[in-house]
């Protein structure tokens, strides 16, 4: 789970076009109080940074182990398809941990991320690897050359797509760059995870830096906000939206992607609507599967 109190004002329930939502006023007022409390807790000298501009410096120390756990699952999926040198696209690749590990396995990997700082970290890891490349792009409107055997979008990156239109565009782009039978694997935080961590504060020490990580979840707007505060007064705000299989599966199908595996923890634990995480593998539907021949 990743930022805190929402700083963008919501339309006031009970007035104008929102008058039918007056019953939500107590919940809305609670979030107004939390937002005011958070703003007052930040001095006027604090500076807000872009997401991952500062976090990139300590990211591997705090969260680097997560993506590497994908390796065995990806290997198994590719071996089933007899792909020993697959073309892989890593969306929101972060510091490149997964992309570089897959490149070292012999695959041709291209990673993209919106954060220049994260891409810089990824490129430094890939020095000497001719089969790994990285670019600063977003995962909704990315442009790449050729088709891929597998597209990955790991570590709740899909939850940063807070608008359903952006989710639709991203899934359409994924389907467009996959070859027939290509795979899309991803994980998503569900509402259960954000609910369980709402109003929670952590103080991790990473690379000698003491951070304050605060999270709150607004169920009325499906908005999870996590704030990372750094010792020098800078802070980052990360906003996400939960997605479960019930929302994602029909949208995957409309994009031409059929779910073939779903778990609550990598390829180990079964997924249920009550689990905090969704790990999913979807396969691009071939034209023959879309329009079976008449017999």
In tens digits, what is the pLDDT along the chain, a chain of 295 residues?
443 333 333 333 333 334 344 444 455 455 544 554 544 454 445 798 999 999 999 999 999 999 999 999 999 999 999 999 999 999 999 999 999 999 999 999 999 999 999 999 999 999 999 999 999 999 999 999 999 999 999 999 999 999 999 999 999 999 999 999 999 999 999 999 999 999 999 999 999 999 999 999 999 999 999 999 999 999 999 999 999 999 999 999 999 999 999 999 998 899 999 999 999 999 999 876 665 444 3
Q: What pLDDT was estimated at residue 10? A: 33
Q: What pLDDT was estimated at residue 267? A: 83
Taking the CB of residue 58, how many other CB atoms lie within 10 A of it? 19
| Helical pair 97-104 and 59-68, crossing angle rounded to 10 deg | 50
Q: What pLDDT was estimated at residue 286? A: 85
Helix (H) or strand (E) holding 47, with range, is strand 47-49
Q: What pLDDT was estimated at residue 195? A: 97
| Helical pair 97-104 and 71-80, crossing angle rounded to 10 deg | 50
CB 161 within 8 A of CB 140: yes
Q: What pLDDT was estimated at residue 128? A: 97
Tokens at 211, concatenated:
């951070």
* Three-class secondary structure of residue 270 per DSSP: strand
Q: What pLDDT was estimated at residue 2? A: 46
Look up the pTM and report it.
Answer: 0.84
User: What is 15-67 written as a DSSP string?
Assistant: SGGGGGGGGGHHHHHHHHHHHHHHHHHS-TT-EEEPTTTTGGGTHHHHHHHHH
Q: What pLDDT was estimated at residue 8? A: 36
Q: What angle do CA 63, 68, 71 make, to 5 degrees?
A: 160
Q: What pLDDT was estimated at residue 101? A: 98
State the SS3 of 151-186: EEECCCHHHHCCCHHHHHHHHHHHHHHEEEEEEEEE
Rounded to 5 degrees, φ, ψ at 203 are -130, 70
Q: What pLDDT was estimated at residue 201? A: 98
End-to-end CA distance of the chain: 50
Helix (H) or strand (E) holding 224, with range, is strand 223-229
């Amino acid at each position: 789970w990743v930022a805190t109190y929402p700083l963008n004002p919501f339309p006031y329930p009970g007035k104008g076009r929102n008058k039918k939502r007056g019953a939500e006023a107590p919940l809305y007022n609670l979030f107004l109080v939390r937002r005011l409390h958070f703003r007052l807790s930040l001095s006027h000298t604090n500076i807000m940074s872009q997401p991952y501009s500062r976090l990139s410096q300590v990211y591997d120390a705090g969260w680097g182990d997560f993506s590497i756990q994908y390796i065995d699952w990806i290997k198994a999926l590719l071996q089933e398809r007899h792909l020993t040198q697959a073309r892989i696209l890593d969306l929101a690749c972060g510091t490149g941990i997964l992309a570089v590990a897959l490149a070292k396995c012999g695959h041709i990997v291209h990673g993209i991320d919106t954060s220049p700082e994260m891409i810089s970290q990824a490129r430094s890891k890939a020095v000497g690897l001719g089969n790994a490349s990285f670019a600063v792009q977003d995962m909704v409107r990315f442009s790449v050359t050729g088709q891929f055997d597998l597209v990955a979008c790991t570590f709740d990156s899909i939850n940063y797509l807070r608008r359903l239109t952006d989710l639709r565009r991203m899934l359409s782009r994924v389907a467009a760059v996959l070859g027939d039978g290509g795979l899309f694997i991803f994980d998503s935080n569900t509402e259960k995870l954000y609910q369980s961590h709402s109003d929670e504060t952590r103080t991790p020490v990473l690379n000698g830096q003491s951070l304050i990580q605060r999270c709150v979840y607004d169920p009325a707007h499906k908005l999870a906000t996590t704030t990372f505060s750094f010792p020098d007064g800078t802070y980052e705000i990360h906003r996400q939206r939960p997605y479960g299989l019930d929302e994602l599966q029909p949208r995957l199908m409309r994009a031409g992607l059929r779910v073939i595996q779903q778990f609550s923890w990598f390829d180990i634990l079964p997924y249920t609507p009550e689990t905090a995480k969704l790990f999913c593998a979807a396969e691009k539907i071939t034209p023959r599967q879309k329009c079976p021949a008449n017999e």
